[in-house]
Amino acid sequence: MTGNTTTVAWSRGRWWVAAALAAFLAVQVVVPTFGLLGPRPARFGWQMYSIADAAPRAWAEARDGSLTSLDLTGRLAVLRADTRDASAIGTALCTGSPYAAVVIQFGNDPPERVPCS
Amino acid sequence: MLLNRLRGLVTDRVDPRPLGVTRAGVGAAALIITVELGGYLSALAAPGAIRLPQVQAIAAPVVAAWPLVLGLWAVASVAFAIGLETTIAGAAIVILAVAFFLTDSQLYSNHLYLLTLVVAVLTLAGADRGFSLDARRRGTQELKPVPAWGPFLIRFQVTVLYAFSALAKLNGSYLSGSVMASYLRSDGPLAIPESWRSFQVMFVLSLIRNAFVAGLFLHLGILVTFQPTLPFAAFGLLTLSLYVPFLNAAPASRLVIWDGSCSFCGSWVTWWRRLDWLGALRFAPMDQPGVLDANGISAQAATEALHVVGPEDTRRAFGAVRAVAEVLPVSFLWAPLLSLPPVQWLGERAYAAVARRRSCAVVPGQRPADSKASA
């Protein structure tokens, strides 16, 4: 091929390609735009490294209400702020523990308290 | 107008080689990501690990057989990079990536998401048609063009990525420098001293004159100064590979006119041919009938220096070397640096010094094998 651009004829079937293309482009803009409206970093929003201390943190809450920091290294495969599954992480940390609750914070989000029942 | 543009993206067909080169880089990035994924999957499989499955039916087998799944990923990455059964390899990468996302919430990363999107686009857009073993195996002389929406979507993806990445960083914390400081490398020979970690504003956008160079330095700078290394290496290679469709290097759009009697020049031409993966260059020795007249170059000027006739201008000597570097995939990112005053000054003098002595390199009676003009 030595030319720059060639053109094929328009056909009815190409409408589907055009429609899929337009939809893909719209999704590529709309999804990250919504991501800007919520807490950061948001998934699918291209917000990498936009906040400091992105690793999730956890504390064990004793029966008397005192908090002790928990080390999540080795328990979580990756320490990512956008994981945001406090319920599952809290439940796992509660299992077999004497804690009254576990408090988890992702990035700059408000801390979430997961009671250990 | 937008509809016409959209219609053009569907009906226009363009050279497949830029997508092919992009595919090779993306495949290499996928291979780097294998190492990162291996670490995460082995951690998930370890006793006591907290799992955050998205779809249990997928998570259980993937975690149980993670070495096998990762092996498939690595094989698909290599096949995609070299363009061997590209469609199957691309489909395998996309399917496995989606399986990883559904296996565990912790396996999400922005570069894995980016990789999934671009591999899907490249596979659907026919990135196997250029710079691939598939194309070589087909043995067709004429490259089959690809739809224009392929390169467009890659360019659009890069634009969206940088735009939203910048928008997300418009917050007080980031602009204070504290976010970047927290990711700076803290150990090893490239560790950033503690006293350097409290800088404030880092970027002066008005100084960025060339997006390619800025992107190259951005990702190299991140790789050198930030930690962890592996994800940044994968992200940098992945993103820089996506720059190729931005390159203005239409097939055969630049004519390189060189002294065909000079073996030294012949060596350079041989290397440029090898590295011209996009097919942007044509080569003609100056003694090819009519080539100088057709391009308004005197015999004396052609004897003195290399010339590159481009779509916008004709450059000679070191400028011609720069014109070639600007369209080669291995050099286009840093080629604009050759026009910086000190580099250009040095380059012009070095070129002149070599050009004065190059007659010594001529072997009487011998012509470089590839001195014939080619398209």
pLDDT of residue B142: 74
Q: Residues B150-182: pLDDT tens digits?
A: 999 999 999 999 999 989 988 777 776 677 777
A113 reaches B (C-beta below 8 A): no
Indicate if the alpha-carbon torsion angle B341, B347, B350, B352 is positive or negative.
Answer: negative
The rounded distance, in Å, linking the Cα atoms of B158 and B243 is: 8
pLDDT of residue A49: 83
B14 reaches A (C-beta below 8 A): yes
Residue B137, class by beta-carbon neighbours within 10 Å (0-12 exposed, 13-18 middle, 19+ buried)? exposed
pLDDT of residue B140: 66
pLDDT greater than 80 at residue B184 = no
The answer to whether residue A27 sits within a structural domain is yes
Residue B282: strand pairing partners = B255
pLDDT greater than 70 at residue B294 = yes
The rounded distance, in Å, linking the Cα atoms of B32 and B28 is: 7
* Residue among A4, A18, A24 whose CB faces B250 most closely: A4
pLDDT greater than 60 at residue B367 = no
In B, minimum Cα distance to A7 occurs at B12
Residues of A in contact with B12 (CB under 8 A): 5-7
Shortest distance between the Cα of B303 and any Cα of chain A, in A, equals 28
More confident residue, B52 or B264: B52
pLDDT of residue B370: 41
pLDDT of residue B27: 98
pLDDT of residue A107: 85
Number of separate domains in chain A = 2
A37 reaches B (C-beta below 8 A): no
Mean pLDDT of the residues in chain B? 87
* Residue among B13, B52, B110 whose CB faces A5 most closely: B13
Q: Residues A24-78: pLDDT tens digits?
A: 999 999 999 999 998 889 999 999 888 876 789 999 999 999 999 999 998 999 9
Cβ pair B52:A24 closer than 8 A: no
pLDDT greater than 60 at residue B363 = no
Confidence of residue B359 (pLDDT cuts 50, 70, 90): low
Q: What does the block give as tokens for B133? A: 């073993």
The rounded distance, in Å, linking the Cα atoms of A11 and B359 is: 59
Cβ pair B40:A83 closer than 8 A: no
pLDDT of residue B371: 38
pLDDT of residue B192: 64
pLDDT greater than 60 at residue A1 = no
Residue B3, class by beta-carbon neighbours within 10 Å (0-12 exposed, 13-18 middle, 19+ buried)? exposed
The rounded distance, in Å, linking the Cα atoms of A109 and B179 is: 16
pLDDT of residue B207: 39
The rounded distance, in Å, linking the Cα atoms of A114 and A109 is: 15
pLDDT of residue B356: 81
pLDDT of residue B201: 35
Confidence of residue B283 (pLDDT cuts 50, 70, 90): very high
Task: Find residues 47-86 of chain A whose CB sits inside 8 Å of chain B.
Answer: 47-53, 74-78, 80, 82-83, 85
For Cα atoms B193, B198, B200, give the angle at the middle one, nearest 5 degrees: 130
A18 reaches B (C-beta below 8 A): yes
* Residue among B106, B147, B160 whose CB faces A32 most closely: B160
The domain limits of chain B are 2-244, 254-361
The answer to whether residue A1 sits within a structural domain is no
- Percent with pLDDT over 70 in chain B: 89
Q: Are B209 and B199 in contact (CB under 8 A)?
A: no
Residue A68: strand pairing partners = A60
Q: What does the block give as tokens for B55? A: 């779809």
The rounded distance, in Å, linking the Cα atoms of B317 and B322 is: 9
Residues of B in contact with A76 (CB under 8 A): 43, 49-50, 106
Residues of B in contact with A49 (CB under 8 A): 169, 179-180, 183
Cβ pair A7:B11 closer than 8 A: yes
The rounded distance, in Å, linking the Cα atoms of B223 and B231 is: 9
Q: Are residues A61 and A106 in the same domain?
A: yes
pLDDT of residue B169: 86
B374 reaches A (C-beta below 8 A): no
The answer to whether residue A6 sits within a structural domain is no
pLDDT of residue B227: 82
| Mean pLDDT, range B37-64, rounded to an integer | 96
pLDDT of residue B141: 66
In B, minimum Cα distance to A4 occurs at B250
Q: Are B20 and B279 in contact (CB under 8 A)?
A: no
Cβ pair B50:A5 closer than 8 A: no
Q: Are residues A81 and A41 in the same domain?
A: no
Q: Are residues A61 and A94 in the same domain?
A: yes
Q: Are residues A65 and A22 in the same domain?
A: no
- Where do runs of H (alpha helix) occur along chain B? 2-11, 17-45, 56-64, 66-82, 86-103, 110-124, 133-138, 149-168, 172-175, 178-183, 211-225, 229-241, 263-275, 291-294, 299-304, 317-325, 341-357
Q: Are residues A85 and A37 in the same domain?
A: no
Domain span including residue A65: 57-115
Q: Are residues A104 and A77 in the same domain?
A: yes
pLDDT of residue B340: 85
pLDDT of residue B196: 52
Residues of A in contact with B250 (CB under 8 A): 4
pLDDT of residue B40: 96
The rounded distance, in Å, linking the Cα atoms of B371 and B258 is: 9
pLDDT of residue B210: 65
Residues of A in contact with B180 (CB under 8 A): 49
The answer to whether residue A72 sits within a structural domain is yes
The answer to whether residue A18 sits within a structural domain is yes
Q: Residues B190-233: pLDDT tens digits?
A: 776 665 554 433 333 333 336 788 788 888 988 888 888 888 99
Q: Are residues A65 and A42 in the same domain?
A: no
Q: Give the CA distances from residue B249 to residues A103, B15, B270, B340, in Å, rounded to whole numbers and listed in that order.
A: 56, 10, 19, 22
pLDDT of residue B364: 41
- Percent with pLDDT over 90 in chain A: 68
The answer to whether residue A5 sits within a structural domain is no
Task: Find residues 168-197 of chain B whose CB sits inside 8 Å of chain A.
Answer: 168-169, 171, 173-174, 178-183
pLDDT greater than 60 at residue B49 = yes
pLDDT of residue B365: 42
Pairing between β-strand B12-14 and β-strand A112-115 as defined by DSSP bridges: unpaired
